[in-house]
Amino acid sequence: MTESFRRSGEYESYDGYGNPQQGTPQHASSPVNPEWPPPPAQPPVQQVMAEPPAPAPRKRARGPLALLAAVAIVAAAIGGGTAYAFQELTGNDTVATSSTSTNVVPAAKKGDVATIAAAVSPSVVEISATLDNGSSTGSGVIITSSGEIVTNNHVISGASSIKVTTSNGKTYTAKVVGTDSKKDLALIKLEGASGLKPATLGNSSGVQVGDTVVAIGSPEGLSGTVTSGIVSALNRDVTVSTDEGQGQGGGDGRWPFSFGGQQFNGDTGSSTTTYKAIQTDASLNPGNSGGALIDAAGDIIGINSAMYSASSQSSSGSSDAGSVGLGFAIPINTVKSDLANLRSGSTN
């Protein structure tokens, strides 16, 4: 209680403003017993009531953790095999690559030929090149949604015009972007193309003998043909021509190359290059050149480039030539390392 006590007859006098007058005893502000201690300035009960806001810092402490968790989720999504989705969202013409397994083919369907064919066939095209002495047919692999296509140099070498047919039957005109005859590689670009499905380029350094593989191409002009087999050997020396027009094999699609000291499909000429190839027993035939060699996860591990045929050792072009289970592909890591060079417009 803050009530004051006064002795009988003692009253305060005030001026016109309500203030005590000078000299007048003022008992209201003094307790009856001056020995009582003054009350505490801030009762303990108020200190107890001031404690509830303490949880607020704990709420703020959770903010950075939530932010870090959100960043981690986004990073995992970008790093988890979503290169193609990122490309489509940003508009960047980026090649989809993978150094590990991807979800091109679901894990439960890994190695299933039908599933691999369905997933990758839209990324493989038929290439028809017009030559001075006729025409030839090969294959190619789409690597960007805007229509960049990797193929063999010998498929388009010496061509005056190039037509490309996609898996849905649509035809485009293509221009040569760059060539590398030393690696038997070429990059062409479709005119007016968009929204195409690029293949995912895998990692050929992890390929082992005995691995299951699938080949997709256009043998004898039969686009979208699928064959399967295994990797039967690695690092085989395959030699092809680097002379423009020399590699056309008379326009019949049977590209000359040499292997093991023997010439196949005609004469490679005097100017040649040799590369280390993946050997496969998946059936390859004329027209498969430039097509895809695919692993069990649906990733491209090689570009098919040459086939051995027991009936093709002369340049006569025997009609009974065909696959006997020895085909060769350029490792995809060789392709990836050469892409910048090809995109620069190089024609070496």
User: Catalytic site residues?
Assistant: 154, 184, 289
Residue of 4, 114, 285 lying closest to 12 (CA atoms): 4
- For CA atoms 310, 311, 316, 317, the dihedral sign is negative
**Tokens read off for 5:** 């006590």
- Strands (E) across the chain are located at 124-131, 134-142, 148-151, 161-165, 171-180, 185-190, 212-217, 225-241, 257-259, 262-264, 272-280, 292-294, 300-307, 327-331
Q: Beta partners for 218? A: none
CA–CA gap between residue 207 and residue 291 (Å, rounded): 18
CA–CA gap between residue 294 and residue 280 (Å, rounded): 11
Burial 231-255 (b: 16+ CB within 10 A, else e): bbeeebebbbbbebebbbbbbbbbb
